[in-house]
Amino acid sequence: MDNFSATLKTVQNVFLFFLSFCLAAWALLVDYRVYIAGLMLGSIVSIINARFLAWKIDKLAAAAIEQKGRKVTLGFLTRAAIAAFAGLVAVRYPQHFALPTTIAGYFFAQLVTLVLGILSIKMSKK
């Protein structure tokens, strides 16, 4: 699991850089604040869901090692509820958050993980 936690740490570092970039853009681009705030909201939900999924996968791995008969799920409903809550916030406060960019931000952690995976494959072939 060392590779998994290292990848998640890299995703988190990319997220922090992206969030700082968004905060700077939010401060400078007044006309686009609603869209940038929605993107930040969606990406925050994305990283929260990624961390939660990593925690659940660690629990699943520990349960598999212990070989106990208890059922361990990956918590899809919890992650979906977190995303739905962010969507509801964007719908409830349209003057602060844009729903389309909030939804686009949901895919931040997955896209960063995909790009990191492709880069690591290319680096290992050299």
pLDDT in tens, 88-97: 999 999 999 9
Give the phi and the psi of residue 80 in degrees, each rounded to 5. -65, -35
Q: 1-10, 20-29, 102-111, 115-124: which has the minimum mean pLDDT?
A: 1-10
Residues in the chain, overall count: 126
Residue 2 has what pLDDT? Answer: 61
Predicted confidence (pLDDT) at residue 1 exceeds the cutoff of 90: no
Q: Enter the pTM of the model.
A: 0.88
pLDDT in tens, 99-118: 999 999 999 999 999 999 89
Residue 35 neighbours by CB distance under 10 Å: 18
Domains in the chain: boundaries: 31-123
Residue 60 has what pLDDT? Answer: 84
pLDDT in tens, 27-82: 999 999 999 999 999 999 999 999 999 898 888 888 878 877 667 778 899 999 99
Give the phi and the psi of residue 22 in degrees, each rounded to 5. -65, -40
